[in-house]
Amino acid sequence: MEHETLIVDLMGLKFDVTTTLVTVASCIIVFSVVFICTRNLQLKPTGKQNFIEWIIDFVNNIVSTSIPGKRGDRFKLLGFTLFLFVFVSNMLGLPLVLVINDIQWWKSPTADPIVTLSLAMMVILMSHFFGVQEQGFKNYFLNSYIRPVPFLLPIKLFEEFTNTLTLALRLYGNIFAGEILIGLIASLSNSFGAVTWIVGVPLQIAWQAFSVFIGSIQAFVFTTLSMVYISHKIGHEETVEHKEYVETN
Amino acid sequence: MFNQLAIGAATSAGNTLVVLISFLILLLLLKKFAWKPVTEMMERRSETIANDLDNAKNAKEEASRLATEQQNKLADMQKESAIIIQQAQTNAAKIEKDLIEETKMSIAQMKKQAKLDIDFERKSALDEAKNEISLLSLQIAEKLIGKEIDNQTHAQLVDEFIERLADSNETE
């Protein structure tokens, strides 16, 4: 299942053409869908506007479960973009895995560990940034690493790295494994020409359906965990606000 | 697997940049073209719904208030009309009584007047009859006297008679 990819050297930085291509494609797809769905907005929504508002509500719920009240509002766009990007990226490799002359041209961007690690790193760095912004550096440091007991400091420091890794590798592992199995089933179908299609095609359909399920779950999990990590960093005064939130609702 | 990791290592910095930059561009584009209008629209909708609910509540209260007002008005009007009817009845009774009394009075007056008229008529008829009788008696007396009367003396006699008649009328 390992294939070469085309590598372009640009000003000393090496770029993987496949990953760049599918990442940009995923961005374009997300933007196009959302753009088309948000044309001609009505107060009384119909059709495509209902669809996009359903997704927005879904993501808003994810965000406000972790970060309740007004403080969650600024993270809703981030959650929305993360969810759609990861979801579409997960789906990209399902209908098509293109390998020409042993060079891979098309796959899910999230089947590349670098992509998922980039996203996870971005989320974790953002969580630290927002943590400092919301409660000041001193409180951020105390709440994140010293409280409730100082001797947990090494574990808490270690946790920052494991968080990044688990967030990234969970997504990567699921999608990469899915694509490997898609490739295996495809080569099984082609092993004896059209005869083995009888076995291969239903198997492939079943596995693709399951991969759609996995891809959706992983997009949901990625968004949820991102919000949980951010809320851990910003959310230590939450207890008061949370009470107020519960009382006012 | 190791092969891929080795390749990945060579391109990891570039790929990370690509992912981060494209993700940020996507985020900004979505914010500009989709997120703001949609969230604004959703906020506007929730405001509209809240307003509509408030308006409906107000309208309902207003309606029930108007209904009670109308009912009160109706009750007042019924009371008023009952009073008016009663007044009209008493008035009618009074007017009837007055009319009857007035009519009785005028009948009595008319009777009195008629009595007076009858007396007057009788009296004047009697007077006339008296005059007639006296005239006849005069003529009879003249005939009895047998005096030949020419036109001139006749006129004189008539004048005398009228004078006497006037005198007798005056003396009466």
pLDDT in tens, A212-221: 999 999 999 9
% chain A with pLDDT above 70: 91
Tell me how far apart the alpha carbons of residues A34 and A4 are, in angstroms, rounded to a whole number.
33
Closest CA–CA distance from residue A13 to any residue of chain B (Å): 6
pLDDT at residue B170 tops 70: no
Residue A189 has pLDDT above 50, yes or no: yes
Token digits for A153?
Answer: 């400091």
Average of per-residue pLDDT across A14-34: 88
Give the pLDDT mean for B155-165. 79
Mean pLDDT of chain A: 84
CA distance B83 to B89: 10
The more confident residue out of B93 and B8 is: B93
- Shortest distance between the Cα of B78 and any Cα of chain A, in A, equals 49
**Tell me: the pLDDT tens digits for B28-65?**
998 888 888 888 888 888 899 999 999 999 999 999 99
Chain B residues inside the 8 Å CB shell of A81: 23, 26-27, 30
Q: pLDDT tens across A115-138, in order? A: 899 999 999 999 999 888 888 888
User: Which range in A22-26, A145-149, A180-184, B54-58 is most confidently predicted, on average pLDDT?
Assistant: B54-58
ipTM: 0.82
Q: What pLDDT score was predicted for residue A29?
A: 92
pLDDT exceeds cutoff 60 at A244: no
In terms of CA atoms, which chain A residue is nearest residue B30? A31
Long-range contacts of A159-162 (CB under 8 A, 24+ apart): A160/A124
CA B172/CA B170 separation, integer angstroms: 5
pLDDT of residue B93: 94
Average pLDDT for chain B: 85
Res A142: pLDDT: 84
User: In the numeric block, which tokens belong to residue A32?
Assistant: 């196009």
Residue-level pLDDT at B148 = 59
Asked if A62 and A72 touch (Cβ cutoff 8 Å), the reply is: no
By DSSP bridging, strand A13-16 and strand A98-100 are unpaired
Say what the pLDDT of residue A245 is: 54
CA distance A139 to chain B (A): 29
Sequence-ordered alpha helix ranges (H) in chain B: 2-30, 36-145, 151-171
Contacts of A115 in chain B (CB under 8 A): 15, 19
